[in-house]
Amino acid sequence: MTLNLRVMAPNRIVWNSEVWEIVSSTNSGQIGVLPNHAPLLTALDMGVLKIRNDGQWSAMALMGGFAMIDNNQVTILVNEAEIAAEIDPEEARKTFQTAQADSAKAEGKKRVIEANLAFKRAKARLEASIVA
């Protein structure tokens, strides 16, 4: 038995196929979803969506959104998503290091929030590129 996974961003459908399992970052921790999962609506944090299909794992970086699970259908609405194969690991590593440094030296409430968001985004992209 499988799940139908659909990941949608404002500008495109990022993923739409049958999968065996997913693992995603929610605002309250990671969640794993297998076939026949209980119905659920949850907010997603910036992080990595891991997808298992035919024994192979793939990943994508999600930039926040919502997931709805019902009747073996998983619909994920996100602000932005990048499939791991589309992410250059070296560029992701450099962006992560820059964001980490910027976050450490940020001052002022607005700048700290912006730096932390840039850091979380860079971390999600880097982690997704490593899983691939």
Instruction: Find the CATH number of the domain harbouring 33.
Output: 2.60.15.10
Tell me the H-state helices in the chain.
89-105, 109-131
Q: Which of 84, 103, 120 is the last residue of a domain?
A: 84
Amino acid 10: pLDDT: 95
Q: What are the b/e assignments for 31-46, b being 16+ CB within 10 Å?
A: bebeeebeeeebebbb
β-strands 56-70, 40-53 pairing: antiparallel
Amino acid 47: pLDDT: 94
pLDDT digits (tens, 9 = 90+) for 107-129: 999 999 999 999 999 999 999 99
Confidence of residue 74 (pLDDT cuts 50, 70, 90): very high
CATH number at residue 96: 1.10.287
Mean model confidence pLDDT for the chain: 94
Confidence of residue 1 (pLDDT cuts 50, 70, 90): confident
pLDDT of 131 > 80? The answer is: no
- 106 and 42 assigned to the same domain: no
β-strands 3-9, 73-78 pairing: parallel
- 80 and 92 assigned to the same domain: no
pLDDT of 18 > 90? The answer is: yes
Confidence of residue 55 (pLDDT cuts 50, 70, 90): confident
pLDDT digits (tens, 9 = 90+) for 88-109: 999 999 999 999 999 999 999 9
- 65 and 125 assigned to the same domain: no
The structural domain count of the chain equals 2
Amino acid 100: pLDDT: 94
Residue ranges making up the domain that contains 70 = 3-84
